[in-house]
Amino acid sequence: MNFLANPLPKLIKRRESFYSRYEGTTDEFGFDLKTFAKCEPFFRFFYEDYFQVKMLGLENIPAEGRAVLVGNHSGGLPIDAFMLQNGVLHHHPSPRRIRGLAHDWLRHTPGVKEVICGMGGVPATFDTARQLLDDEELVFFYPEGARGLGKPFSHRYRLIDFDPGFIKAAILTNSPIIPVITVGGDEIYPMLGKLKPIAHLIGWPYYPLTLTFPWLPFPACAVPLPIKMLVKIGKPIHLNYPPEMARDRKLRLRLAREIQDQIQLELNHLLAKRKSPFAGWDYESLR
């Protein structure tokens, strides 16, 4: 099925469903429909035309109710998160916002802060995540954290040990865990090196050296490579542990590693099927 071939009325209906769902509501973390509407065409261009994103398993994101989304994270900027949000908006029968846990350095960077918060990003704290899950929201954990975003090109698609906080949140709130595997993000901004002294000076977790940054002026330095992207959403994982088991650190670490291994195996499989970063996949072979 070619999602981009959907009739325009269906896309319009989904958009209207999304906006009507949140119209008239206030959000303490800064989600704003006006900001969302202003940014959405920009990200839609990247989704449909630039990265030509394909999504598999979108039906695994629930139309209602809470869920912990968890996946690999890369690319220097949270482009992968925006691509997922755009895919859900246009192709899910009941589109919802996704509350991505965003690090303080992104949320406090001028120009970036307004976009991330307005599109649904929230502080990357456990209390925030639990509050949103209790409110029946979709919360996206990136357990690699800034280490994943700042991964050197030589380590692309090699997952860094997952922080088990998402396991604790899932057990405490009885939320299903939905794996989200993204291929393409590790190559849009090939990171060739980092400058730690500058990063410490400006309060960033890393200061990247890429093919274009900081050599070219803005916005040329921020233009990503047109890598074909694929997002595969796995079936929900139900842990079925009583809330008191969330205190068991060994259990949390074991479950986090098991899910990390599942995502790594799927990453390896999708990479093996890929023709090339710029040509993408034979998508029928993936179904």
- Helix axis angle for 165-173 and 126-134, nearest 10°, is 30
Structural domain boundaries of the chain? 3-189+224-286
Tokens of 90: 């246009």
Under the banding of pLDDT at 50, 70 and 90, the label for residue 11 is: low
Q: Which residue has the tokens 């209602």?
A: 64
How confident is the model at residue 198, as a pLDDT? 86
Nearest to 143 by CA among 156, 161, 128: 161
Query: What DSSP character marks residue 50?
Result: I
How confident is the model at residue 1, as a pLDDT? 38
10 Å Cβ neighbour count for 98? 22
Under the banding of pLDDT at 50, 70 and 90, the label for residue 75 is: low
User: With 70 as the cut, is the pLDDT of residue 39 above it?
Assistant: yes
- State mean pLDDT over 166-180: 98
Under the banding of pLDDT at 50, 70 and 90, the label for residue 147 is: confident
Question: 3-189+224-286 adopts what CATH topology?
Answer: Glycerol-3-phosphate (1)-acyltransferase (3.40.1130)
Point out the least confidently predicted range of 85-99, 103-117, 172-186. Answer: 103-117
How confident is the model at residue 2, as a pLDDT? 41
Q: Quote the mean pLDDT of the chain.
A: 89
User: With 80 as the cut, is the pLDDT of residue 88 above it?
Assistant: yes
- What would the pLDDT profile of 212-265 be if each residue is shown by its tens digit? 888 888 878 889 999 999 999 999 999 999 999 999 999 999 999 999 999 999
Q: How far is 7 from 39, CA to CA, in rounded Å?
A: 23
How confident is the model at residue 219, as a pLDDT? 79
User: With 50 as the cut, is the pLDDT of residue 53 above it?
Assistant: yes
C-alpha angle 204-206-207 in degrees, rounded to nearest 5: 95
- State mean pLDDT over 159-176: 97
- What would the pLDDT profile of 98-141 be if each residue is shown by its tens digit? 999 988 777 777 777 889 999 999 999 999 999 999 999 999 99
